[in-house]
């Protein structure tokens, strides 16, 4: 029986193991941690946002070919993925209406991780926990030698599902990126993505703990991103889905030594025109009361003070200059970020192996025959909300089937 070795038992690796084993390959999974799937365990605050309820390909970020990226996502459509989890794995999913995210009904990330591990084993895969890959070399005449502590194993095909550099305490050490580079693959420069931003000095530290839903938009040169969602003031800066979704613009501008990317916030998600209309008139209502009705009190007072509007100013007394300054701060606030939390807090790694380096049908390397790559190691990521799991599930399955198909096994239907 032909042998497939999978390096990494995270989301993509476990999905690859399930599908490669079911398609007839002899599968061995090497995982450096003692239990695997640690990013699954911490995702969604320990609940695991398995999938989004709606997928918009345009929200993915890549420096590679967008048509190839779209083809990889569509190889296992969202609805087929949901059926797999619910009907095949027996993990019913529930919609969180406010966010559009799909969580396991149990609200336990461990249930997702454990069921994936069990499904891989049920399909016949062997999972070796505590096995760290030290060396990967092609063999003369075909196949691969994988050096691990205490010896080595041979495989006809290898799937690298090692993740990137984000959240290193989960086991992500970038080994897959290093190996891909050594084997001659072109890599898009890597950077932390979906990571909180910092401000030094922490000018908004007094607002730490204040949260609300906002509209965020960022711009780095010609590259732009927008997001609508939660925003959280921290003691050191800013977090929440809206910030994380545009943070890659900030991290890239910092790492490349470019002019600092602009991050701007609409505190209620409304345009300037809406606030302009709200703050006009001859009413004796206090300006502070109007703002506090729309945003948390501490933030409302801070914005009013930054605009230079006295606490007792009424709408009728508000000058045109004061109103213009206030509207600008409410609808288009320039976030004074100076840094970011880096890979320690980043949810994913931006950049990675260029998508042109792989066959989109099998995810086999064009540089190293018999090597397949999937998941976070590839140059693509999506926003908060299950998008990156969707990418991991889709590419993991495709790599698993690709390795098995090339070995003569029949592909599994979607």
Domain-embedded: residue 414: no
What is the predicted pLDDT for the residue at 193?
98
pLDDT in tens, 20-63: 999 999 999 999 999 999 999 999 999 999 999 999 999 999 99
pLDDT of residue 390: 98
Whether the CB-CB separation of 76 and 414 falls below 8 Å is answered with yes
Q: What is the pLDDT of residue 407?
A: 52
pLDDT tens sequence across 182-229: 999 999 999 999 999 999 999 999 999 999 999 999 999 999 999 999
Residues 187 and 206 in one domain: no
When divided into structural domains, the chain yields a total of: 2
Q: Give the CATH number of the domain where residue 367 resides.
A: 3.50.50.60
Pairing of strands 26-31, 3-7: parallel
Is the domain of 15 the same as that of 155?
Answer: yes
Point out which residues pair with 333 in neighbouring strands. Answer: 265
Q: In the chain, pLDDT over 70 holds for what percent of residues? A: 98
Q: Where residue 149 falls among pLDDT bands split at 50, 70, 90? A: confident
Per this entry, what is the length of the chain? 414
Considering the chain, what is the average pLDDT of its residues?
A: 95
Q: Is the pLDDT of residue 179 over 70?
A: yes
DSSP 156-195: SEEEE----SSSGGGT--SHHHHHHHHTT--EEEEEEES-
* Per-residue pLDDT at 124: 98
Higher pLDDT, 405 or 233: 233
Q: Do the domain assignments include residue 410?
A: no
Together in a domain, 79 and 60: yes
How far, in Å, CA of 145 to CA of 128, rounded?
Answer: 16
Q: Do 273 and 247 sit in the same domain of this protein?
A: yes
Please give the pLDDT value at position 346. 97
pLDDT surpassing 80 at residue 127:
yes
Is 411 among the domain residues? Answer: no
Q: Is 312 helix (H, G, I), strand (E, B) or coil?
A: coil
Query: Mean pLDDT over residues 92-117, rounded?
Result: 97
Let me know whether 237 and 205 are in one domain.
yes
Q: Is 370 left (phi over 0), alpha (psi -120 to 50) or beta?
A: left
The predicted-structure confidence for 258-310, as pLDDT tens digits, reads as follows 999 999 999 999 999 999 999 998 899 999 999 999 999 999 999 999 999 99
Same domain? 65 vs 95 = yes
Whether the pLDDT of residue 412 is over 50: the answer is no
Residues 281 and 169 in one domain: no
The answer on 214 and 142 residing in a single domain is: no
Q: Where is the domain boundary, 314, 340, 366? A: 340
> Residue range 131-140: average pLDDT?
94
pLDDT of 96 higher than 80: yes
Instruction: Please state, in angstroms and as integers, the Cα–Cα distance from residue 128 to each residue in 6, 9, 131, following that order.
Output: 10, 9, 6
In angstroms, the CA 191 to CA 95 distance is: 31
Instruction: Find the mean pLDDT for residues 375-397.
Output: 98
- DSSP structure string for 200-233: SS-TTGGGTT-EEEEEEEEEETTEEEEEEEEEEE
Calculate mean pLDDT across residues 227-248.
98
- pLDDT greater than 80 at residue 347: yes
User: Is residue 413 domain-resident?
Assistant: no
pLDDT at 409: 36
Same domain, 109 and 209: no
Q: How far is CA 175 from the centre of its chain?
A: 19
pLDDT for the residue 406? 65
Last residue of a domain, one of 313, 340, 367: 340
Per the structure, the complete domain to which residue 59 belongs is given by: 3-192+349-405
Residues 50 and 180 in one domain: yes
* Predicted confidence (pLDDT) at residue 129 exceeds the cutoff of 70: yes
Give the CA distances from residue 336 to residues 199, 200, 238, 260, 356, in Å, rounded to whole numbers and listed in that order: 6, 9, 10, 10, 37
């Amino acid at each position: 029986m032909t042998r497939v070795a999978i390096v990494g038992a995270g989301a993509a690796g476990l999905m690859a193991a399930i599908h490669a084993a079911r398609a007839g390959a002899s599968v061995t999974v090497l995982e450096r941690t003692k239990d695997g799937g640690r990013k699954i365990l911490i995702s969604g605050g320990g609940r695991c946002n398995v999938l989004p309820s709606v997928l918009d390909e345009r929200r993915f970020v890549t420096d590679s070919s967008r048509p190839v990226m779209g083809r990889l996502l569509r190889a296992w459509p969202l609805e087929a993925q949901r059926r797999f989890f619910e009907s095949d794995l027996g993990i019913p999913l529930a919609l969180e209406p406010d966010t559009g995210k799909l969580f396991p009904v149990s609200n336990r990330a461990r249930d997702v991780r454990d069921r994936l591990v069990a499904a891989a084993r049920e399909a016949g895969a062997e999972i070796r926990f505590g096995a760290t890959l030290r060396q990967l070399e092609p063999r003369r005449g075909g196949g691969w030698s994988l050096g691990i502590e205490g010896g080595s194993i041979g495989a006809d095909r290898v799937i690298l599902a090692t993740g990137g550099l984000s959240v290193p305490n989960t086991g992500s050490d970038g080994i897959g990126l290093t190996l891909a580079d050594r084997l001659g693959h072109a890599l898009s420069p890597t950077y932390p993505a979906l990571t909180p931003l910092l401000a030094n000095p922490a000018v908004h530290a007094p607002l730490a703990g204040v949260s609300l839903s906002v509209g965020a938009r960022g711009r780095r040169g010609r590259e732009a991103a927008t997001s609508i969602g939660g925003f959280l003031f921290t003691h050191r800066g800013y977090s929440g889905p809206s910030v994380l979704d545009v943070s890659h613009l900030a991290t890239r501008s910092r790492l490349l030594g470019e002019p600092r990317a602009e991050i701007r916030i609409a505190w209620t998600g409304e345009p300037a025109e809406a606030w302009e209309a709200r703050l006009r008139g001859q009413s004796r209502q206090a300006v502070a009361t109007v703002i506090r009705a729309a945003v948390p009190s501490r933030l409302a007072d801070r914005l009013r003070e930054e605009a230079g509007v006295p606490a007792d100013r009424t709408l009728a007394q508000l000058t045109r200059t004061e109103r213009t300054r206030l509207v600008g701060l409410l609808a288009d606030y320039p976030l004074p970020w100076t840094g970011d939390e880096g890979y320690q807090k980043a949810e994913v790694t931006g950049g990675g192996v260029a998508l042109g380096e792989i066959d989109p049908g099998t995810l086999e390397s064009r540089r190293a025959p018999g090597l397949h790559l999937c998941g976070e190691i590839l140059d693509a990521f999506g926003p908060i909300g299950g998008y990156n799991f969707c990418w991991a599930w889709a590419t993991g399955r495709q790599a698993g089937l690709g390795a098995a198909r090339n070995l003569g096994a029949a592909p599994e239907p979607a």
